[in-house]
Amino acid sequence: PLRILAPDHGVVWRCDPVRVVRWTRAWCERKPTDKVVVVAASMWGSTERMAHAVADGLQEAGLVAKVMPLASNHRSDVATEMLTAGALVVGTPTINNNLFPTVADLLSYLKGLKPKSLIGGAFGSFGWSGEGAKQVQEALTAMKIDCPEPPLAVRYVPGEAELEACHAFGGRIA
């Protein structure tokens, strides 16, 4: 019987290593669930407000939405949540005609993990130009994450109508 699990890197498991093998098998199978990870960065709160409205739309459609602001969640925490999710929705503000640096970091990290069996979506806020959300969608598509909706971009601070559009966006992804 398996008593110790000692990989080339990481933790050595001496207590119930079979449990770790079961976890790893489930993570590798990546069966979609009804959980959606909604991750976003925000400079002035606009994209975060959008994230919560998207999550409300997902939840109203019967899914479990986990909102993970990048200001308080490490990229590894997002990756861990993705292991048991069926969808990944990413929000970014546009800064200097690009997506936000922490979002770029996250997407680069996730690309290396080669996610499978996910659907996704991209949204974001902007002031002068709105390239960020489109760049997120391009990154998700490059990871072979199916994005059924075009990116949703809102100029300036989202008002009631824009937040309703975010809610509907979440519902359509669901």
pLDDT digits (tens, 9 = 90+) for 108-161: 999 998 888 899 999 999 999 889 999 999 999 999 999 999 999 999 999 999
**Of the candidates 128, 151, 148, 153, which has an alpha carbon nearest to the alpha carbon of residue 138?**
151
Q: Contact, 54 vs 67, CB < 8 A?
A: no
pLDDT at 132: 97
As a whole number of angstroms, the distance between CA 120 and CA 140 comes to 7
Its pTM stands at 0.88
Q: Which residue has the tokens 């130009």?
A: 129
Q: Spell out a b/e string for 59-77, using b for 16 or more CB atoms within 10 Å of the CB, else e.
A: beeebebbbbbbeebebee
pLDDT at 11: 87
Q: Which one is predicted more confidently, 57 or 9?
A: 57
User: Residue 5 forms beta bridges with which residues?
Assistant: 13
Residues 6+ apart with CB under 8 A from 80: none
Instruction: Write down the mean pLDDT value for the chain.
Output: 94
User: Residue 154 forms beta bridges with which residues?
Assistant: 125
Tokens of 54: 């998207």
